[in-house]
Amino acid sequence: MKIESAVNSGDYDPESWIILGVFQDQKQNSTFQELDSKSLGFLQKLLEIGSFTGKLGQTQRLFEVLGIHVPGVLLVGLGPSTPVSPSDYRKAISASATALGEANVITATLSLSEIPIDGRDTQWAAQACTQIFQEQLYSYREQSSVLKQPLEKLLLIGTSEQNEQIRSGILHGNALADASQFSRRLADTPANICTPTWLAEQATVMAAQQGLDSQILGPDDMQALGMHLLLGVAQGSRQEPRLILLKHNGGTPEQAPVILVGKGVTFDAGGISLKPAKNMDRLKYDMSGGAAVLGAIQTAAALKLPINVMAIVPATENLPDGQATKPGDVHCSMNGLTVEVLNTDAEGRLILADALAYAEQFKPDVVIDTAMLTGARFVALGAHASALYSNDADLAEQLRTAGEKSLDRLWPMPLWPEYHEQLKSSFADLANIGGEGGGSITAACFLSRFAEKYRWAHLDGGGMSTDSPAGIARHVPLLMAFLISYADTSNQGLA
């Protein structure tokens, strides 16, 4: 879809629909008043009748309204009053995109200056609008013949003072939408296609397109590096594991990188600790953390961020087999710690541990790992926030702020020594599970043992719904907001 900015001149494209925000309190903006006047009071009469009330997210399509020389007007409810909260704004825009898509509208116009948003500027509004409309067009088409009729053009208009902000918002929104759709396509791909090798190939293609450096490590490389946790998870599968490495060299050569690590389990049957059959098909999404990391570094490249960013994705399947790791087996990690695998279904932390140990050699300023790791996170926080763990208070606050800005929220969780005690093992340096209670916390404590020599944060989005874009591409908007803030703050790291 082509999204453009323009200065509001009072004239409208005669071939374009107009998106018109309406408040419940009937204190309407100047665009509403102008169009109402042209329609001889039709819009106001419609509100007085009560069929359209302005309730948040409510929409009504009006075709060829008398006096308004455009194909149609889409009314969208903005809720009780101004200013609109950021989350309510996104809901209203999403409802608009859905309604226009259902009507097969080709061109639409939205005046951003007419919708004040609490605590957000015009650039944020344009970015959110661009992202939502672009992502509304996504459908996984590779194995389906069902195609969506796309909106071809969206015009975002504002004052002359707002025009540069709108342009910047469109640029950022398109980059984020592209990254989110790339991540969603990877995650939506069936596991018989999306193997570790296939995932590595897709990452390599994207890297070439975006000008990123890429390197793919196989089992022999992992063996030489001592990555026996990753290899231990992979040994129950006929598909070879891969370690995907991408680099965006936007900073100076001496600048310490930001490293993003994402869990890439392309299918998780649980290994010998087999999962229940119900909903097992959803476990193709267990590589969503890896997909999000790949999307995030794509965004860094697209926006030419002046920092060095590296993505590391350990990719494997976790299946039961005669050679699979058994509960009670002990493997040695890359950093030398031995791990007793008490539950083979707690495999994500194992592959992330070797990846975190591998990251140390690059002398990073910051390392952030992301994964749909534990169901315990959902028990603790429900569907609306991911768990945030960190060994650095400033980094945790930067991420929490990025989460608020992107509406991909995080909630800080503890890493107290008492939780580390739950990981004691009689046969190894530590166990891969911590027993009953605090499952998300003990998983993070496990990972922290492999991230002691740099500033680190762990994002656990486990249990998030995979039935929505937010669940599948979790943390792409958050990581983008963090990287942009990081780049704006300092090329040498967080202040």
Q: What is the pLDDT of residues 104-121, one digit of tens each?
A: 899 999 998 778 899 999
Q: How far apart are CA 383 and CA 381, in angstroms?
A: 7
Q: What is the mean pLDDT of residues 430-448?
A: 97
Comparison of pLDDT for 31 and 134, the residue scoring more: 134
Exposed/middle/buried for residue 54 (C-beta within 10 Å: 0-12, 13-18, 19+): buried
H-assigned helices in 369-451: 375-381, 393-406, 417-420, 439-448
> Kind of pairing, strands 2-7 and 59-63?
unpaired
pLDDT of residue 494: 43
**Confidence at 467, pLDDT banded by 50, 70, 90:** low
Q: What is the pLDDT of residues 255-313, one digit of tens each?
A: 999 999 999 999 999 999 999 999 999 999 999 999 999 999 999 999 999 999 999 99
Q: What is the pLDDT of residues 171-184, one digit of tens each?
A: 999 999 999 999 99
Helical packing angle, 196-210 and 288-302, nearest 10°: 10
DSSP assignment, residue 277?
S
Q: Which residues are catalytic?
A: 275, 349
Q: What is the pLDDT of residues 191-210, one digit of tens each?
A: 999 999 999 999 999 999 99
pTM, two decimals, is 0.93
pLDDT of residue 495: 38
Domain ranges in the chain are 2-179, 191-487
Q: What is the mean pLDDT of residues 218-229?
A: 98
Kindly tell me if the per-residue pLDDT of 144 is higher than 60: no
- What is the CATH number assigned to the segment(s) 191-487? 3.40.630.10
Q: How far is CA 452 from CA 222, 394, 448, in A?
A: 21, 16, 6
Instruction: Provide the residue type at 60 as one letter.
Output: Q
Cis previous bond, 257, omega within 30: no
What phi and psi, each to the nearest 5 degrees, are found at residue 433? -135, 160
pLDDT of residue 468: 57
pLDDT of residue 115: 86
**Confidence at 28, pLDDT banded by 50, 70, 90:** confident
Percent of the chain with pLDDT over 70: 95
Strands (E), 209-335: 213-217, 242-249, 258-262, 264-268, 308-318, 329-332
Query: 């958050």: which residue's tokens?
Result: 478
**Confidence at 492, pLDDT banded by 50, 70, 90:** very low
pLDDT of residue 147: 47
CB distance 140 to 291 below 8 Å: no
**Confidence at 319, pLDDT banded by 50, 70, 90:** very high
Q: Which CATH class is domain 2-179?
A: alpha beta
Instruction: Please check whether the two domains, 2-179 and 191-487, share a CATH topology.
Output: no
Exposed/middle/buried for residue 491 (C-beta within 10 Å: 0-12, 13-18, 19+): middle
Among candidate residues 201, 200, 242, 198, the one with its CA nearest the CA of residue 218? 242
Q: What is the mean pLDDT of residues 219-230?
A: 98
